[in-house]
Amino acid sequence: MTQLLNYFLITGVLLTVFILISLFRLISGPTVPDRVVAMDTINTLIVAGMILFGAAFEEVIYIDVAIVYALLSYIATLYIAKYLERRAKDK
C-alpha cells in the first residue's frame, strides 16, 4: 500500500516537471494564442496532478478542489478565446 502511494507521489512530481516545461512556452510564446494554449495545457496538468496528490496523501478534499479548478479554468479559457475573436473583429 505504501509502495502504491509512492507511485502516485512520483508521478505527481513528474507532472510538476512537465508543468515547468510548459511554463517556458507560456513565457516565450510569440503570439497570444500560443500563450493561451500553454495555459490550457498547464491547467490540465494541474488537475491531473491534484488528483494524484490527493490519492498519494489520502485527502479527498484535494480532488474536490480539482473538480472546481477544472470547471473554472474551462470558463477562463472560453472567455479568453471569445475576447481574442471580438478583438480581431473590431480591428
Partner 1 sequence: MTILSIILFLFLLIGIFFNGLGSIGLMRFPDVYTRLHAATKCTTFGSIFTSLSVIIFGFYFWKVNGDSKFGVLALHTIIALVCLIITNPTGAHAIARAAYRSGVMPKQAVIDQLKEAKLK
Cell of 88: 480581431
Please report whether residue 9 would count as binding partner 1 according to CB under 8 A.
Answer: no
Task: Check binding of 34 to partner 1 (CB under 8 A).
Answer: yes
Q: Which residues contact 54 (CB under 8 A, 6 or more apart)?
A: 60, 61, 62, 63, 66
Q: For residue 27, what is its C-alpha cell? A: 513565457
- Contact 38/22 with Cβ under 8 angstroms? yes
- Which residues of the shown chain bind partner 1 in the complex (CB under 8 A)? 1, 3-4, 7-8, 11, 14-15, 18-19, 21-22, 24-25, 31-34, 36-38, 40-41, 44-45, 47-48, 51-52, 54-55, 58, 60, 63-64, 66-67, 70-71, 73-74, 77-78, 80-82, 84-85, 87-89
